Amino acid sequence: MIKRIISYKIIILTVLLCNSLAFSQTSNKRKELETRRQELRREIQKISQLRAEDRSKERSELSQIEEYNYKISVLGNLIKVTNQQANYINREINLNQNKISNLRDELKQLKEDYAAMVVKSYKSKNQHSRIMFLLSSKDFKQAYKRLQYIKQYSNHQRQQGEIIKAKTVELQELNNDLFKQQEEKKKLIAENRVTQKALESERRLHEDLMKSIRKNLTKYTLQIRQKQSEAARIDREIDKIIKEAIASSNKAAGKSGTSTSFALTPAEKVLASNFVANKGRLPWPVERGRVSRRYGSQPSQIDRSLTINSSGVGISTNKGAKVFAVFNGEVSSIIKIKNANPMVMIRHGNYLTIYQNLSKIYVKKGDKVTTRQVIGEVYTNPSNGETVLTFVISKGLNKENPANWIDKM
């Protein structure tokens, strides 16, 4: 009987081990989704705070459309992540139910085996006393073996009792976990209903505004073209300044003035290496903000036939927002371009970070700056109340996507 119990336990343990591995993987994925869900919730809260601050301002239809599109995107992602999380909870519930079923089977078998042992032990006591069992031995060796058997049988009975006790507690804990998971799933479903309503509300507001814009689409298309033309002009001026900075560094190092990359000193090589090592972990250049204009080329949200090109990201923030250096470096230039607000360019070895559209500047060319040092304030447009920092990362003349460098952008 003992062999049968051991064989049964091996089968049960194998099943439970497989379930535990699956449960662990599912649980880890659900934790990742919970982290992402909380990030999206904070993002929505940030949008709402900025919107509340801007409520009294006359804002352009273009900026409002950008805001609606962004919030719709975040709400959609939140619904998607919450649904994924609910699905993973479903998997955990199913795995827990399988585990509970296996434990019940194991507990039932243990109790049956234990009951059989108790009955056998009781009958054994009625038929022969332990002393008579030992005295009836043929010799001392047999008596010793019988004594060992009695001890082993007694120990096995006690162990079976402890196992049953432990399995009963484990079953109760699994049932409690199952109840908690079911409650958590209910909360997620309820939260998703609220988020879905908010998404529908944003979509209605977006559509109402788009109807108004479509009535005078030519006017808005012209505005977009003008903004794109102005942005391209500023990009050309910045590239010109970067070329001059590269030429200057190469001249100082005694290298060719036609090189397209910075000549680096040993210290600058270390700085550049450290900058790259922190890729994806750099802090935001403002305390609070949201990306209102993405890097690269994308169709216009107003007129899909137009392409918006952006060498950096536009970050909408609050009035009077301080601007921070995202990494240690040296102020390479304070850029002043006609019909544009001042900019700060900081060099990190062969990398540059550029902070555009400032109202105040707290540093000067040649200053050494440290990570999160305040270097200025973002300009607020008095005509529409918009406070937008344009943030650019460039390796020499080659622009890079800031979202790949800034933490959780």
CATH number reported for the structural domain that contains residue 238 in this entry? 2.70.70.10
pLDDT digits (tens, 9 = 90+) for 41-55: 888 887 777 777 665
End-of-domain residue from the set 214, 238, 273: 214
pLDDT score for 214: 85
94, 140: one domain = yes
Query: How many residues does this entry show for the chain?
Result: 409
Report the b/e string of 267-295 with b at 16+ CB within 10 A: ebeebbeebeebeeebebbbeebbbbbbb
Rounded to whole angstroms, the Cα distance separating 283 from 371 reads: 8
Strand partners, 108: none
Q: Which two tokens stand for residue 303?
A: 């007129």
Same domain, yes or no: 379 and 269: yes
| Per-residue confidence (pLDDT) for residue 113, from 0 to 100 | 73
345 pLDDT above the threshold of 90:
yes
One domain, residues 200 and 151: yes
- Res 5 pLDDT > 50: no
Domain presence at residue 409: no
CA quadruple 389, 395, 397, 403: dihedral, nearest 10: -40
Indicate whether 193 and 320 sit together in one domain.
no
In a domain, 14, yes or no: yes
On whether both 249 and 208 belong to a single domain, the answer is no
Burial bucket for residue 35 (CB in 10 Å: 0-12, 13-18, 19+): exposed
pLDDT at 212: 85
Same domain, 248 and 113: no
- What's the pLDDT at 8? 47
Residues 59 and 200 in one domain: yes
Residue that finishes a domain, picked among 214, 242, 274: 214
- How does DSSP classify residue 402? G
Our count of domains for the chain comes to: 2
Task: Examine the domain organization and report whether 201 and 270 are in the same domain.
Answer: no
345, 354 Cβ separation under 8 angstroms? yes
Residue 195 pLDDT grade (very low, low, confident, very high; cuts 50, 70, 90): very high
H or E stretch covering 359: strand 358-361
Residue 156 in any domain: the answer is: yes
In this structure, are residues 389 and 323 in contact, taking their beta carbons and an 8 Å threshold? yes
Q: Between these two residues, 197 and 127, which has the higher pLDDT value?
A: 197
Is the domain of 295 the same as that of 208?
no
What's the domain range around 388? 230-404
Residue for token pair 């064989």: 7
pLDDT digits (tens, 9 = 90+) for 76-118: 999 999 999 888 888 888 887 787 777 778 777 877 776 776 6
24 and 151 both lie in a single domain: yes
Tens-place pLDDT, residues 124-152:
554 455 555 555 667 777 767 766 766 77
> Are 177 and 253 contained in the same domain?
no
Task: Flag whether 295 is in a domain.
Answer: yes
Q: Is residue 38 part of a domain?
A: yes
Same domain as 9, residue 74: yes
Pairing mode, if any, of strands 388-395 and 351-356? antiparallel
Q: How confident is the model at residue 376 (pLDDT cuts 50, 70, 90)?
A: very high
Quick one: pLDDT band at residue 59, thresholds 50, 70, 90?
A: low
Half-sphere exposure of 317 (CA within 13 A, CB side): 25
Do 321 and 286 meet the contact criterion of CB atoms below 8 Å apart?
yes
Is residue 151 one of the residues assigned to a domain? yes
* Mean pLDDT score across all residues of the chain: 84
- Choose among 174, 11, 186, 10: nearest CA to 94: 174
Higher pLDDT, 169 or 392: 392
pTM: 0.67
Is residue 219, in this structure, part of any structural domain at all?
no
Tell me if 222 is assigned to some domain.
Answer: no
Domain boundary among 186, 214, 242: 214
